[in-house]
Amino acid sequence: MNRTAQIERKSKETEIIASLNIDGQGKTQVKTNIGLLDHMLDLFAFHACFDLDLAVKKADLEIDIHHTNEDIGIVLGKLFKKALGDMQGIKRFGSAFAPMESTLGRAVVDISGRGYLTLVIDNLEKVNIKNEDGYAMAYLEHFLESFAHNLGATINVKIEGTSEDLHTNMEAAFKALGLALHEATRINPSRPNMIPSTKGIID
């Protein structure tokens, strides 16, 4: 089974080209023009053993990162959905924790066809400051929401022991999400040819 996908998405605001191999080794080439997001997508894919190439060819960063951040989430969600096809054989559920210093990221994923994001951040007021990219926790939520809706996954992320450092919080969350998605996208050896839903389809 070849679980790969390529996507090229053009809007009036951004142009993004991306490719994914679900069964890769974590080789990445990510150039979003948002430094912090490059780092997050790199470590997300690396720890999940996804091969991910993603390049933002055009962006309206002169406004702010809003459209670019959202559109990368959209493309990434569509990319996973396309690579997984009819979801045959996948475990569907996955969960993981990733600690970083005093911070703990937790991610629980169900690739159910139902796009829904819950993001819980302890002591949010501690980190509600933008970094030099203009990144902020509100953008993390927007990114994950776009990703969840376009993949068709229920995603629940929690950041505990929240750091004052945006980078640390995001890194714990992205590592946990990568590890949870790795698990959810593995083939279940008990029924590798079945679509894992009592409905018989995941769409």
Site residues (vs Mn ion, CB under 5 A): 171
160: left (phi over 0), alpha (psi -120 to 50) or beta: beta
Shortest spacing between CB 163 and Mn ion, in angstroms: 12
Residue closer to Mn ion by CB (options 46, 84) is: 46
Residue closer to Mn ion by CB (options 51, 171) is: 171
Shortest spacing between CB 40 and Mn ion, in angstroms: 8
**Chain centroid to CA 128:** 21
Residues pairing with 19 in the sheet: 6, 53
Residue closer to Mn ion by CB (options 110, 171) is: 171
Shortest spacing between CB 135 and Mn ion, in angstroms: 13
Is the separation of the CB atoms in 197 and 108 below 8 Å?
A: no
Residue closer to Mn ion by CB (options 70, 171) is: 171
Nearest residue to 36 via CA among 175, 136, 119, 158: 136
Q: How many CA atoms lie within 13 A of 29 on its CB side?
A: 7
The residue with its CB nearest to Mn ion is 171
Nearest residue to 148 via CA among 194, 189, 181: 181
Shortest spacing between CB 111 and Mn ion, in angstroms: 27
Residue closer to Mn ion by CB (options 145, 171) is: 171
Shortest spacing between CB 39 and Mn ion, in angstroms: 6
Sheet holding 28-31, edge to edge: 4-10, 15-21, 51-58, 28-31
